[in-house]
Amino acid sequence: MEARTSSSLVIERELHIDASPETVFAFFTDPALMVRWKGAKATLDPRPGGIYRVEMSEQVVAVGEYVELDPPNRLVLTWGWEGDYASTPPGSSTVEIRLTPDGDGTRLHLVHSGLPSPEAAEAHADGWDLYMPRLAIAAAGGDPGPEPHAPKEES
């Protein structure tokens, strides 16, 4: 995975995924597929103005709305967090996903812009670095394991 975080508070990531663009696109729009790689619960309405809400845990909830969808090539959504997590209010930043055929798979290019501070950019960079490999595993048909932010079960 290529990683770039610029001083303009924009995060860019690229990743090859062993699945078609159609398959990868569905992992951003289908709630059942979303929770295979990110979140414990997802409410998704993939149309312009539709809700994007993914609960990693009760305290960590990403919220925004879909802005543009061009299946299976591109989608844009607003992004933020309920509460004060990473100091990024719901809908205050933008995530753009571009998917292009790459051999037998897909090249995913993510740009997350509009982040409010270097600290928020660092936190989101860490988040994408955690979740993008999980997406690659899930979209290729594997099991990335449990949601990393889910509460640990007591023995």
> Model confidence over 32-42: pLDDT tens digits?
999 999 999 99
| Matching residue, tokens 């998917």 | 99
> Which residues does residue 64 pair with via DSSP β-bridges, in sequence order?
52
Percentage above 90 pLDDT, the chain:
83
The whole-number pLDDT of residue 2 equals 52
The model's confidence at residue 3, banded by pLDDT at 50, 70 and 90, is low
The model's confidence at residue 155, banded by pLDDT at 50, 70 and 90, is low
Token pair listed for 22: 């159609």
Helix, strand and coil percent figures for the chain, each rounded to 5 = 25, 35, 40
Contact between 148 and 39 under an 8 Å Cβ cutoff? The reply is: no
Domain ranges within the chain, ordered by starting residue: 2-139
The whole-number pLDDT of residue 111 equals 98
Level-2 CATH architecture, domain 2-139:
2-Layer Sandwich (3.30)
